[in-house]
Amino acid sequence: MNANNFPQNTNVQQPPRPVNDDMPKPPKVGRPDGLAPNLKGAPEDVRFGVWAWLSVCAMQVLDAIVIFVANLVDDRSLRGQVTQQLKDDAFAKNVMEQQNLSTDSLVGMANFSMMAMTVLAAGVCALLTWRAGRGGNYSRMFLNVGSFYLAITAVLMLFSQAPETLPLGFLIISGILTILSGVVAILGVYFFSRPANGTWLGWPTEEQMREYTEALQKKQREEKKKRDEAREKAQKAKADKKKAKPEDPGK
């Protein structure tokens, strides 16, 4: 049987639904004219932030090169990691045997791929830095997250034990670059977050945020009033219906 054939009770009072069609919209974030063509006219703090993050990108590339050369000089640490991975991953070991790859080849490929990935990530961050300096807020948010990651990495390095097989000079250079990257990245976050950058980056003004907050509170009060009125109306209709119901003559 089709449930739609049963008679529907049209007298059931439906609960009131909030009306959100005309809710006030928050002020837009971003430059009204889109990204600036260049950094000409940008506040000094924005330019400092751009240079800070570009410096971090350069230090990350330099660190990748240092680690790459260190593994060429003494690959015992990387070789141990590759060997352990082959023991834990049977699929990788089968691929190695099918392709007739030696352990030396895998170590060289791993060393080069690590450097290539770091250089590629630094290039992407440099592009995001250029966009952030021209007013790209999403690029700036991504770089903020990356900056805190680098800062945490720098702090953890201070309390971690260095590999015993890598040359000491390369380890010192890599550690210095890692710590400097974390510090300078946080400086980039600081420079970009200065209040004077609001106009250039397209942040909402205090007046716009105040107007939005007041409009939102007003709309919430209106909706609450409508819900209360609808609830009172439903309760009154239910009470009137109960009073109008005829009494049982057998009583």
226 token code pair? 């409508």
Helices and strands (DSSP H and E) totals, the chain: 8, 0
40 to 36, 74, 190, 238: CA distances (angstroms)? 9, 47, 21, 69
Encode pLDDT of 194-248 as tens digits.
998 988 888 787 787 788 888 888 888 888 888 888 888 888 888 777 777 665 5
> Is the whole-model pTM more than 0.75?
no
Cα(170)–Cα(174) distance, integer angstroms:
6
Encode pLDDT of 199-212 as tens digits.
888 878 778 778 88
pLDDT for 50 equals 96
Percentage of the chain exceeding pLDDT 70: 86
Structural domain boundaries of the chain?
A: 44-201, 205-238
The DSSP symbol for 3 reads G
Alpha helices in 134-167 (DSSP H): 137-158
Given its phi and psi angles, is residue 34 left (phi above 0), alpha (psi -120 to 50 degrees) or beta?
Answer: left
